Structures are given as structure tokens and as C-alpha cells.
Amino acid sequence: MRDFLIRITNFILGIRVTIYGERPTVQGLIVANHRSYLDPIAIISQVHAFPVGKKEVESWPLIGYIGKISGVLFVDRKCEKSRQNTAENIREVLSKGYSIVNFPEGTTDILPTTVNFNYGSFVMAAKIKSALIPVAIDFKEKTDAFVGNDTFIPHFIKCFGKLTTEIKMTFFPPIYSEDPSYLLNTSKKMIDEELIRFRKEWDNEK
């Protein structure tokens, strides 16, 4: 049901995703840069995984509903208990052989490369010896990013009022290490370089 609904939603909204790299064939912790509320939906349209999302998205029209049926692990980042419960849920999902999608920047941005990554995801991956799968994602139109003082409904209308919303996404090979710093620095470097490549390709189209 989830996969069908996401395919229909992508078609209706005119979402066009160009994929680079090989979709992961192993389960693990997927870490991606963060541009918009659409990021997790775009990613799980390509791979079976459970995203981690901020609690307020749960009440949003359409996106919140898709999140609920997609098994999103909603977390209130201002609540320590919520963060702890989410961390436990992530461990449980990973231990059962399913993948998790997390956004270690902790917020959306539209800078050319990523902002600082939070350390927690990488500590967890190292501790339970999970595969870490970096993913780079970006939108052709910079205004499609959901940042700053954007509010959902006006942004949604602006983003999907045009014929197509073009996205590039790269799946990198899994990384294995018991060193969280290595996992963080390696994945960040890979994602940053790919974001720069995406933008150069789009700029060359003009």
C-alpha cells in the first residue's frame, strides 16, 4: 500500500527522480543530506526503509499521512524522552534487518554542501556494526528546498504548482567501520562532492 501510494503521489505531483549508483542490497543506516520534507518520501520510493522525521510533520496534510503509513519514526527533538525512545526504536528496527533513513544535519538547508552532521547516528551504526549507506539528494530548483521561514502549504503550492519537480539522488556503496568519526567524515565528504557535481550538471544545462 505504501509503495503504491508513493508511486501515485510522485506521478500526480510531477516528481522526476534521476538515480545514480546502485540501490542498496543490504540493510543498514541510510544517512542523507536534507533539503525538504520530500526527501524521505523520495528515498523510500527507491528503497524499502523506515525514515526518522520530526514530530510536527505528523500533522501536515498528505505528507503526514504518507509518513504514518510509511512507518516513519517521528521524534520530538526538543524532548529528551522522545529522542531516547526513537534511538531505541532505531536499534530495534536495525536489529531486525530493516533499514533506517536518517538526516544527520538535523535540519534542512540550501547551502552548496552539507552543514555539520550530528554524531549520534554514526555512533549507533558503529556500535551495532551496521552498514552505513550514504545518500546524496538535491533539487534542480533551489526554491524547492524547504528552509528558513517557509511554511508548508505555501511552499507545497509553489513547489508542485509547476509541471515537474526534478531530483537527483545518488546511492553510495555501504561503509563498515567501528569508528564513528570515520563513518561521519567519509559519508559527509562523499555527499558534499556529489552535491557539487549535481549543481554543476544543472548549471551546464542552462
Place of cell 509547476: 162
State mean pLDDT over 108-121: 92
pLDDT of residue 56: 62
Q: pLDDT at residue 107 above 90?
A: no
Single out the residue of 46, 54, 140 nearest to residue 103, CA to CA: 54
Residue 111 has pLDDT above 70, yes or no: yes
Spacing of C-alpha 43 from chain mean position: 6
Neighbours of 177 (CB within 10 A): 15
Instruction: In whole angstroms, give the CA distance from residue 156 to residue 72.
Output: 20
CA dihedral 61, 65, 67, 68 (to 10 degrees): 140
Predicted confidence at residue 69, as pLDDT, reads: 60
Confidence check: pLDDT of 57 > 80 = no
Q: Give the per-residue pLDDT at 133.
A: 96
- Specify the pLDDT at position 79: 62
Q: Say if residue 22's pLDDT is above 80.
A: yes
Q: How far apart are CA 59 and CA 133, in angstroms?
A: 29
Average pLDDT in the 116-137 region?
Answer: 90
Closest of 127, 129, 134 to residue 172, by C-alpha: 134
Q: Inform me whether the pLDDT recorded for 13 exceeds 90.
A: no
CB 1, CB 12: distance < 8 Å:
no
pLDDT at 193 over 90: yes
pTM, entire model = 0.85
CB-CB neighbours of 70 under 10 Å: 21
Name the residue with cell 558503529.
126
Three cell numbers, residue 186: 567519509
Mean confidence (pLDDT) of the chain: 85
Higher pLDDT, 178 or 94: 178
